[in-house]
Amino acid sequence: MRLYKVLPLGLALFGLVGCGQKKPTPIPVTTTGTKNAPSWIDNEEIPDGLAAVGIAQPNPMGDKSMQRTVAIADARTKLAGKLKVRVQNMFSQLNQQATTASADAKAKPIRSDVMNRVVENVTRQIVDQDLAGTTTRAFWTDPADNNLYVFVVMNKDTMDQAMAAAATNQIKREIDQGEKSLDHALDKLDAAIAASDRPAQ
């Protein structure tokens, strides 16, 4: 008889403990809040290059082709911003190398106005000439709101070649105009491009 009295009491206590515990709220995979959305929407970093996600809302005409064009343009704009950061990091590395090469009297820090001008010109050259060479790696339409997402990628080798060519041309132009602090930059360019993968210190 005692067992029959204890068993219901134990079940009641177990039920109270269970009610007191809150179930963890599931975290959405992406900011879209839609199930089964691809992970690249929130994690666009890739090991083999530079990538960006573009978004386009559905247009009143229901023109899918126009929506794709808008999404790709949005991704390329974001990619251009990332390229500018890479170029800034590259010239920051060059400037550090020039500053630390104090044993060489000819090696001088690159003046900020010169660096800013070179960064802007190099970025513009890459954006104008090489963003056309980007590839669209994936498309996805959110069934909840019909927003179109596109994953645009620039291959690392293509990007590094574009950076090297544009930077070389611009550095030579600045040297021809009398900017001697860039004399040794061409020798350090490859190392600076490689180091630009990492955030500038």
Please determine, for residue 27, whether its predicted confidence score (pLDDT) is greater than 60.
no
Residue among 155, 153, 162 at smallest CA distance from 126: 162
Percent of the chain with pLDDT over 70: 75
User: Which position has the higher pLDDT, 195 or 30?
Assistant: 195
Give the pLDDT confidence of 43-52 residue by residue, as tens digits: 898 988 899 9
User: Which position has the higher pLDDT, 156 or 31?
Assistant: 156
CATH topology of domain 48-195: Thiol Ester Dehydrase; Chain A (3.10.129)
Of the pLDDT bands very low, low, confident and very high (cuts 50, 70, 90), residue 31 is low
Q: Provide the residue ranges of all domains of the chain, joining segments of one domain with +.
A: 48-195
Of the pLDDT bands very low, low, confident and very high (cuts 50, 70, 90), residue 177 is confident
| pTM for this prediction | 0.73
What does the alpha-carbon distance between residue 114 and residue 152 come to, in Å, rounded to a whole number? 32
Please determine, for residue 147, whether its predicted confidence score (pLDDT) is greater than 90.
yes
Of the pLDDT bands very low, low, confident and very high (cuts 50, 70, 90), residue 30 is low
Q: pLDDT value at position 79?
A: 92
Give the pLDDT confidence of 78-131 residue by residue, as tens digits: 999 998 899 989 888 888 876 665 455 555 677 788 888 888 989 888 888 767
Please determine, for residue 56, whether its predicted confidence score (pLDDT) is greater than 90.
yes
Please determine, for residue 59, whether its predicted confidence score (pLDDT) is greater than 80.
yes
